[in-house]
């Protein structure tokens, strides 16, 4: 039995919905970077000696800027594989943005307290929560998004990097109790990981006895 032409239909989600999610996320990330740079207060004294005293604040800002940039790039690529917007996607995305909104506070605390143990633990904790939120968003898009050779390869590669990141954060969290800079080194290693081609990661996993071709 065919439906009448006058019967109202429910519009399916369009790509415009995804564009709106991405635009909102881009705006939030831009604000996060702006807040972080506003924490860089110029010293009242003149000269390089006064500027050099700001190295902890600037170093924390630089690391966090790289992190936010990595999340922006990968968030953009991830949403390109989504087919439509769901409530689950929206709330997973909001959870990711909430965790990222804590980065400016953790960054300022880390820099102002010169990479102390407690400041490092707070920073590592925020970064770990952010990584977990991203994995949840990625898992949702993988379940309901596009599935072709390119998309499946992307999901697998990002899953591996995400899991390796959480392992490095966990190691850094433990090391921070002994030496805070060792914890920060693990955080820097995570940033370096996301700049490393997946082929090299597969080679590393293969050398460690893991099958790079297996699903994570």
- pLDDT computed for residue 216 by the predictor: 45
| Distance separating the N- and C-terminal Cα atoms of the chain | 46
The two tokens of residue 34 are: 């702006």
Q: Which of 42, 37, 67 is nearest to 54 (CA)?
A: 42
- pLDDT computed for residue 199 by the predictor: 56
The two tokens of residue 190 are: 């995570």
Dist. CA 18–CA 182, nearest whole Å: 40
Q: pLDDT, tens digit, for every residue of 73-84?
A: 999 999 999 988
Q: Which of 182, 55, 27 is nearest to 111 (CA)?
A: 55
Q: Tell me which long-range contacts 158-164 makes (C-beta under 8 A, separation of at least 24).
A: 158/74, 158/78, 159/135, 159/216, 160/198, 160/201, 160/202, 160/205, 160/216, 161/193, 161/194, 161/198, 161/201, 162/131, 162/134, 162/135, 162/138, 163/135, 163/216, 164/193, 164/201
- pLDDT computed for residue 211 by the predictor: 52
| CA-to-CA dists, residue 186 to 58, 123, 144, angstroms | 18, 12, 33
pLDDT less than 50: residues of the chain: 1-16, 212-213, 215-216
Please tell me the pTM assigned to this model.
0.81
């Amino acid at each position: 039995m065919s439906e009448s032409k006058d019967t109202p239909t429910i519009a399916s989600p369009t790509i415009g919905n995804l564009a709106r999610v991405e635009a909102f996320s881009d705006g939030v990330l831009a604000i996060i970077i702006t807040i972080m740079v506003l924490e860089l207060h110029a010293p009242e004294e003149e000269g390089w000696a006064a500027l050099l005293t700001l190295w902890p604040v600037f170093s924390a800002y630089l690391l966090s800027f790289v992190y936010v940039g990595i999340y922006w790039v990968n968030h953009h690529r991830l949403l390109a594989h989504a087919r439509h917007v769901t409530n689950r996607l929206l709330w997973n995305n909001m959870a990711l943005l909430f965790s990222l909104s804590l980065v400016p506070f953790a960054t300022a605390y880390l820099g102002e307290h010169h990479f102390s143990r407690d400041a490092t633990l707070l920073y590592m904790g925020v970064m770990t929560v952010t990584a977990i939120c991203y994995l949840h968003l990625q898992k949702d898009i993988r379940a309901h998004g596009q599935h072709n050779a390119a998309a499946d390869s992307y999901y697998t590669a990002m899953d591996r990097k995400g899991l390796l990141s959480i392992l490095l954060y966990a190691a850094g969290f433990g090391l921070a109790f002994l030496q805070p800079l060792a914890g920060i080194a693990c955080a820097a290693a995570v940033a370096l990981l996301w700049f490393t081609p997946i082929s090299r990661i597969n080679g590393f996993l293969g050398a460690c006895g893991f099958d790079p071709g297996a699903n994570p």
